[in-house]
Amino acid sequence: MRIHSTRTVAIVACAALLLGAFVAAPAEAKKKKKKKKAPVAAVCAPYAPGEKGGDQPVTVVTDASTAEAPAEVTISTAPGLGFSSEQGEGNPDEGATSHTYANVQVDSANPSAGLFVSIEFTPVFDYDLWLRDSNGTALAYSAGSSPPTPLTDGTGNGGHSDVGSENIDGYLTADCAGFTVDLANAGGPGGDVTVKFWLGAPGA
């Protein structure tokens, strides 16, 4: 009886050790398995406009802004009559052209994107659209006529003219880049102008 009891105790002890090993192994595995941290999205430093447009808010454009659902801002413009210039507001302008500014910053999930800008106005008036950096340097523009003609369709400089609109067509920009939009009133009484921003394929 003693030998039988001793064997029984030994068998039970071995079973308990095996069971403990099976239970402990998954627990140790859970401890060793480190949780992966979710990647932290890069945050853009706010765009700091230069002298022109420095007192205007910045519209942030994300991938959610498309041609069908653009970001929009309404700008109040002054009367103007004349010609705008690549150099910007000041002596290079001819006549009594007026300028109004709007700022935009790109915040895309991609390292680069095409920035589209469109201004809409009453077709009989004449506005010019300039995309500038914070120093005022012209990067792209559309300065044709409305309605456009073969000689004044605004193409060749990153944009095009249409009936009642001037357009920047997918200016290639890095994520987080900021710009100042220069709306030059070259022929009209002024008033509200709608500015639309969206992202898409560069140069489309």
**What per-residue confidence (pLDDT) applies to 22?**
45
- At 145, is the secondary structure helix, strand, or coil? coil
d(CA 171, CA 189): 30
The pLDDT, as a whole number, for residue 3 is 46
Q: How far apart are CA 126 and CA 66, in angstroms?
A: 26
Contacts of 194 (CB under 8 A, 6+ apart): 72, 73, 74, 75, 119, 120, 121
On whether the CB atoms of residues 98 and 77 are closer than 8 A, the answer is yes
**What pLDDT shows up at residue 28?**
55
> pLDDT tens string for the chain (204 positions)?
444 555 554 444 445 544 454 445 455 555 555 566 655 556 899 999 999 889 899 999 999 999 999 999 999 999 999 999 888 887 778 889 999 999 999 999 999 999 999 999 998 999 999 999 999 999 999 988 877 777 678 888 999 999 999 999 999 999 999 999 999 999 999 999 999 999 999 985
Q: Bridge partners of 118?
A: 167, 196
Please tell me the distance from the alpha carbon of residue 60 to that of residue 176, in angstroms, as a whole number.
Answer: 9
What is the Cα–Cα distance from 60 to 172, expressed in whole angstroms?
Answer: 16
